Amino acid sequence: MTDPIRDVRREYKYATLSRSEVAKDPLDQFVRWMGDAETAEIQDVTAMALATSDALGQPSVRIVLLKGFDATGFSWFSDGGSEKGQALAANPRAELLFHWRELDRQIRIRGSVAALSDAAADAYFYSRPLASQLAAATSEQSRPVESRGELEQRYKDLAGQYPDRAPRPQAWGGFKLQPEAYEFWQGREGRLHDRLQFRRDADQQWQVQRLQP
């Protein structure tokens, strides 16, 4: 009997990635590939998997949206009381994964995580539509709730109380991952893929090496 999952496969034919063409700074390479993904009009281009591990070593992963990046790191916003927020409080290390299937590309970024300032959290929170503000104020993320109806009633009550601007929950804020390693993966025909990894040397300079697929 054929296994319909095992037999699912396709060829990767988009492009190649060599050490001679990759940028010397991994952030510059990230900017190049993000630009390619935007040009390709990939839906949810800023979506990234965020992998964390709690104090007991239990891993968890979920999709969040990138909200900013520069030489100091990659930022997103969430409820600090959520599963990921509690995991990061206990073990402030994480990995991000961008997967752009249409380009046969992945980027992994690993490093330590720090909280953003209250000012940064306020600035982003109040740039969001009112409905998103109310949803964040309504939900105690990751905690059990008796019913959908309870959530909707809480949302309705807050909307009546705050018709113009919702209060930012104290636990809601921003996080920034400060990169220690990058990996750029380019799918290749026949599964002999390209993988280039960046790590800092003793002088904190980025060095690149090829990894076997």
Dump the DSSP string for 61-89. EEEEE--EEETTEEEEEEETTSHHHHHHH
Question: Is residue 6 in some structural domain?
Answer: no
Whether the per-residue pLDDT at 162 is higher than 60: the answer is: yes
Is pLDDT of 120 > 50?
A: yes
pLDDT at 5: 45
CA distances from 145 to 55, 141, 157 (A): 25, 10, 16
- Three-state SS for 158? helix
User: What does the pLDDT average to over 170-174?
Assistant: 95
Q: Is the pTM of this model over 0.85?
A: yes
Q: Domain count of the chain?
A: 2
| pLDDT for residue 2 | 53
The predicted model gives 61-79 an average pLDDT of 97
Tell me, yes or no, whether 34 and 64 share the same domain: yes
Please check whether residues 107 and 176 belong to one and the same domain: yes
Residue 155 has pLDDT above 90, yes or no: yes
CB 113 within 8 A of CB 92: yes
Residue 122 lies in a domain: yes
Residue 155 CB contacts under 8 Å (≥ 6 apart), including other chains: 134, 135, 138
Question: 155 with 180, same domain?
Answer: no
pLDDT category of residue 118 using cuts at 50, 70 and 90: very high
Report d(CA 96, CA 203) in Å as an integer.
25
**What are 17-30's pLDDT values in tens digits?**
999 999 999 999 99
User: Residue 189 — very low, low, confident or very high, per pLDDT cuts 50/70/90?
Assistant: confident
- Give pLDDT, residue 13: 65
Q: Are residues 140 and 61 in the same domain?
A: no
Q: Are residues 71 and 95 in the same domain?
A: yes
Q: How high is the pLDDT of residue 14? A: 63
One domain for residues 57 and 150: no
Is 202 within the bounds of a domain? yes
CATH number assigned to the domain comprising residue 100: 2.30.110.10
Looking at the domain assignment, is residue 193 inside a domain?
yes
| Parent domain of 136 | 129-167
Domain-embedded: residue 90: yes
In terms of domains, do 109 and 176 share one? yes
Rg, C-alpha atoms of the chain: 20
